[in-house]
Amino acid sequence: MAGKAPSDFVFAAEKGGVLHLRNFRRKSFDPAVRAAGLDKLNPHALRHTAASLAIASGANVKVVQTMLGHQSATMTLDLYGHLLNDQLDEVADAMDAARAAEASARRPAATVAALPTGRSVGGPVA
């Protein structure tokens, strides 16, 4: 953001200081949730949704770890790894396709030699 220092707050209080969660919820978040007609939504649910969408869309787990500030990718996978279960069939299909392509590449290519018209390998055409 132009003109901002790395230490500046992204979300600041009205006078530029620290925006405390309680004030943010009371003045901004909860009224927006009510206006949107949503029920019982909290900021942590948005964090969980963002992480879930990132993982489900194939984001690198190390990137999601950094995004969430987790100490390790293991922590991220422990919390969100259940989302990867839906991708098991896709992984199996991709592995099958890779195996088939490799096997096909190893097979010698069949060669067909054109023979003169009216001739076959066994002698004259009957």
Does 21 share its domain with 58?
no
Tell me which residue range forms the domain holding 35. 9-41
Does 31 share its domain with 55?
no
Inside any domain, residue 24: yes
Does 15 share its domain with 31?
yes
Does 37 share its domain with 54?
no
Q: With contact defined as beta carbons under 8 Å apart, do 55 and 61 qualify?
A: yes
Q: What is the dihedral of CA 38, 43, 46, 51, to 10 degrees?
A: -160
Inside any domain, residue 112: no
Phi, psi angle pair for 93, to nearest 5°: -65, -40
* 13-32 tens-digit pLDDT: 888 888 898 888 998 899 99
Inside any domain, residue 15: yes
Inside any domain, residue 120: no
Does 22 share its domain with 47?
no
- pLDDT for the residue numbered 113: 58
Inside any domain, residue 81: yes
Inside any domain, residue 118: no
Residue with tokens 């003169």: 116
Cut 0.75: pTM above it: no
* 61-118 tens-digit pLDDT: 999 999 999 999 999 988 887 777 777 778 788 889 998 888 888 776 655 555 566 5
| Inter-CA distances, 104 with 51, 86, 100, 117, Å | 39, 29, 6, 32
Give the integer Cα–Cα distance in Å for 84 and 76. 12
The number of folded domains in the chain is 2
